[in-house]
């Protein structure tokens, strides 16, 4: 465990009998260096365990090889999955990712941007409010590439990746209507967010298109389990109880599902249910839950790639603000029709027989290591 000072380019240079420039060239790919010196310098680098000091590089105007990710919450499965892919994309570009969570508080969003600024090469952000003026302006003046996802940034020249919230909400509502349900309630919290607004719009459009009266019950803040249950109870007890419910967001869907269970209400026989955003176990619940599924990983990958594309276009050190070319990429969500909306449950029956045949095949070492390669994470 040597506590010696970390070796520098100068140490390497001396030991290799060359100048510091040559060392610098070698660690940067070895342009304009003879194969011989290249090799010998590289050897010395190995011997000394030399690692270039990033701070010094950055000070010289090089990139920090780090990008920032700003999300409302990293514990939220949606953002967690996004972060995972983004991290992978970043690593493929030799970049690290620093994660900031905002809890959807504009003040924290701004604060995070400040602490990220001049420490990262670019920023990926899932803003809480599309029209946050100070945020928009600050991001616009940043001189490093920014890409938004999940929600767009209005009024500024910043590209973003989002899904067709409006369209898919409309389709889901239509589907509910096709089941013959007339009174369809739209429930959710965080009603002020862009995504929620879009979904509400889609719901309303489908209802009006069918000549039905939209019934929307949202709250500005995310609702607790108990709040959701109380709201639901009120609607159920009303003279015109809903025949179906469309939830704007997966936590609402889960809370609603849970409350319906507790109330002893049969889904979908008494009240049908559909939600926006898929969630783990949605297919394992009985009844399984019908949802609009967003292409989460694709969102993350697309946003990250967009950012690195901008980074690639802007030569190092150029302080030039990201040129005009803002684009909104809109990805398509899918309707996953399961049982809670009234569609047939995928025959739950005794599928055991299906696996019986596997029995002999897997009889080897207790199925040990019979791992199918990669990407299992679905």
Q: If binding is defined by CB under 8 A, does position 75 make contact with its own copies?
A: yes
Candidate ranges 47-55, 66-74, 188-196, 322-330; the one touching DNA (CB under 7 A): 47-55
Q: Report what 226 binds from its own copies, DNA, none; CB cut-off 5-8 Å by kind.
A: its own copies
How many residues contact its own copies, by CB under 8 A?
108
Among 191, 210, 337, 343, binds its own copies (CB under 8 A): 191
**CB of 45: closest distance to DNA in angstroms?**
10
**CB of 32: closest distance to its own copies in angstroms?**
26
- Where in 18-57 is the site for its own copies (CB under 8 A)? 51, 53-56
Among 17, 103, 180, 325, binds DNA (CB under 7 A): 17
d(CA 309, CA 95): 14
> From the CB of residue 295, how many other CB atoms can be counted at a distance below 10 Å?
14
**CB of 4: closest distance to DNA in angstroms?**
11
**CB of 17: closest distance to its own copies in angstroms?**
26
d(CA 271, CA 248): 16
User: Residue 203: CB partners within 8 Å, gap ≥ 6?
Assistant: 169, 170, 172, 173, 184, 186, 214, 216, 246
Among 33, 83, 89, 126, binds DNA (CB under 7 A): 33
- Where in 48-77 is the site for DNA (CB under 7 A)? 50-53, 56-57, 59-62
Q: Report what 22 binds from its own copies, DNA, none; CB cut-off 5-8 Å by kind.
A: DNA
Sign of torsion over alpha carbons 228, 232, 235, 238: negative
Among 12, 41, 44, 116, binds its own copies (CB under 8 A): 116
Q: Which long-range contacts (CB under 8 A, 24 or more apart) does 213-216 make?
A: 214/186, 215/183, 215/184, 215/185, 215/186, 215/242, 216/185, 216/186, 216/187
CB–CB of 164/331 below 8 Å?
yes
d(CA 58, CA 260): 56
User: Residue 219: CB partners within 8 Å, gap ≥ 6?
Assistant: 188, 189, 190, 191, 227, 231
Q: If binding is defined by CB under 8 A, does position 89 make contact with its own copies?
A: no
Q: If phi over 0 gives left and psi between -120 and 50 gives alpha, with beta otherwise, what is residue 124?
A: beta
**CB of 27: closest distance to DNA in angstroms?**
5
- The helix or strand, by DSSP H or E, that contains position 372, with its residue range, turns out to be none
d(CA 9, CA 69): 32
User: Closest CB to DNA among 58 and 80?
Assistant: 58
Among 107, 281, 309, 328, binds its own copies (CB under 8 A): 281
Among 1, 2, 3, 6, binds DNA (CB under 7 A): 6
Query: Can you name the residues that pair with 290 across neighbouring β-strands?
Result: 274
Among 10, 224, 270, 325, binds its own copies (CB under 8 A): 224
Q: If binding is defined by CB under 8 A, does position 266 make contact with its own copies?
A: no
- Where in 132-171 is the site for its own copies (CB under 8 A)? 140-141, 143
Candidate ranges 23-31, 78-86, 90-98, 257-265; the one touching DNA (CB under 7 A): 23-31
Q: If binding is defined by CB under 7 A, does position 25 make contact with DNA?
A: yes
User: Residue 327: CB partners within 8 Å, gap ≥ 6?
Assistant: 159, 306
Residues engaged in binding DNA (CB under 7 A): 5-6, 8-10, 17-25, 27-28, 32-34, 36-38, 50-53, 56-57, 59-62, 316
């Amino acid at each position: 465990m040597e506590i010696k000072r970390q070796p520098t380019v100068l140490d390497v240079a001396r030991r290799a009998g060359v100048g510091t420039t040559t060392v610098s060239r070698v660690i940067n790919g070895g342009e304009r260096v003879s194969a011989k010196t290249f090799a010998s310098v590289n050897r010395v680098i190995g011997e000394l365990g030399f690692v270039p000091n990033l701070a010094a590089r950055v000070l010289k105007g090089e990139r920090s090889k780090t990008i920032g990710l700003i999300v409302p919450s990293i514990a939220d499965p949606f953002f967690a999955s996004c972060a995972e892919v983004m991290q992978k994309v970043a690593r493929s570009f030799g970049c690290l990712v620093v994660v900031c969570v905002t809890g959807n508080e504009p003040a924290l969003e701004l604060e995070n941007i400040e602490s990220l600024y001049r420490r990262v090469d670019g920023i990926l952000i899932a803003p809480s409010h599309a029209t946050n003026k100070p945020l928009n302006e600050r991001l616009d003046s940043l001189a490093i590439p920014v890409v938004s996802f999940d929600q767009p940034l209005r009024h500024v020249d910043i590209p973003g990746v989002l899904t067709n919230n409006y369209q898919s909400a409309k389709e889901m509502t239509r589907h509910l209507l096709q089941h013959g349900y007339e009174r369809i309630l739209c429930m959710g919290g965080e009603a002020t967010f862009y995504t929620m607004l879009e979904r509400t719009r889609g719901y309303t459009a489908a209802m009006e298109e069918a000549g039905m009266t939209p019934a929307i019950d949202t709250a500005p803040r995310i609702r607790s389990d108990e709040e959701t249950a109380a709201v639901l109870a009120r609607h159920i007890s009303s003279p015109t109880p809903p025949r179906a419910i469309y939830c704007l967001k997966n936590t609402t869907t889960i809370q609603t599902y849970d409350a319906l269970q507790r109330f002893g209400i049969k889904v979908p026989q008494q009240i049908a249910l559909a939600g926006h955003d898929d969630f783990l176990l949605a297919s394992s619940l009985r009844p399984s839950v019908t949802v609009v599924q967003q292409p989460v990983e694709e969102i993350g990958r697309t946003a990250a790639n967009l950012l690195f594309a901008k980074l690639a276009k802007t030569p190092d050190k150029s302080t030039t603000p990201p040129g005009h070319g803002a684009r909104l990429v809109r990805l398509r969500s899918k309707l996953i029709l399961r049982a809670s909306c009234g569609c047939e449950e995928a025959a739950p029956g005794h599928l055991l027989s299906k696996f019986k045949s596997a029995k002999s095949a897997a009889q080897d070492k207790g199925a040990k290591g019979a791992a199918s390669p990669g990407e299992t994470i679905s």
